[in-house]
A = this chain, B = another copy of it.
Amino acid sequence: MFELVRNSEMPLVDQICERVTHLVRHGQLTPGTRLPSIRKLARQVSASPFTVVDAYDRLVARGVIESRAGRGFFVTPRRLSAPLVAIEALEEPGSDAMALARLCLANSADIVAAGSGFLPENWLLETTPAAVLTRLARGRRAQAFLPCPPQGLPELREQIATRLLQHGIAASAANIVTTYGASQAFDLLARILLSPGDTVLVEDPGYFVLFEQLRAHHVRLVGVPRRADGPDLAALEAASRAHRPRVFFMQTLVHNPTGSSAEPPNCHRILSLAEQYGFAVVEDDVYGDLYEGRAVRLAQIDALRHVIYVGSYTKLIGPALRVGFIAADLGLVTRLIERKVLSVLSGSTLLEYYVYEVLDGGRYKRHVDQLRTRLARMRRDARAALSAAGLEFDAEPGEGMFLWGRVPDSSVSVDALVRRARERSILLARGSVFSPAGGCKQWLRFNVAHSTSAPLTQFLRESLRAA
Contact = CB atoms under 8 A, between A and B. Distances in A.
Given A57-B366, A145-B125, A320-B144, A162 B343 contact: no
Given A80-B168, A90-B334, A345-B209, A147 B104 contact: yes
A94 B359 contact: no
Contacts of A362: 54, 56-61
Interface stretch (A26-34, A169-177, A225-233, A423-431): A169-177
A341 B98 contact: yes
A203 interface: no
Contact of A62 (B172, B337, B360): B360
A380 interface: no
Tell me what chain A mostly uses at the interface: helix, strand, loop, or mixed: helix
A344 B125 contact: no
Given A147-B105, A162-B62, A181-B345, A83 B170 contact: yes
A81 interface: yes
A209 B359 contact: no
* Residue with the highest number of chain B CB atoms closer than 10 Å, among A80, A144, A168, A361: A80
Given A80-B165, A125-B142, A342 B174 contact: no
Nearest to A64: B162
Interface stretch (A40-48, A349-357, A405-413, A446-454): A349-357
Interface in A310-343: 318-322, 330-331, 333-334, 337-339, 341-343
Interface in A360-416: 360-366
A83 B172 contact: yes
A7 interface: no
B165 A90 contact: no
A80 to B, nearest CB: 6
A6 interface: no
A365 B60 contact: yes
B150 A337 contact: no
Contacts of A81: 170
A91 B337 CA distance: 11
Interface of A: 54, 56-63, 66, 79-83, 85-91, 93-94, 98, 101-102, 104-107, 118, 121-122, 124-125, 128, 130-131, 133-134, 136-138, 141-142, 144-151, 154, 159, 161-163, 165-166, 168, 170-175, 180-181, 183-184, 187, 209, 212-213, 216, 318-322, 330-331, 333-334, 337-339, 341-351, 354, 359-366
25 contacts: A58-B362, A60-B365, A61-B361, A61-B364, A63-B162, A82-B171, A83-B175, A87-B172, A87-B174, A105-B147, A105-B150, A130-B138, A133-B137, A148-B319, A148-B320, A183-B343, A184-B345, A187-B343, A212-B342, A213-B342, A321-B348, A322-B348, A348-B348, A348-B351, A350-B350
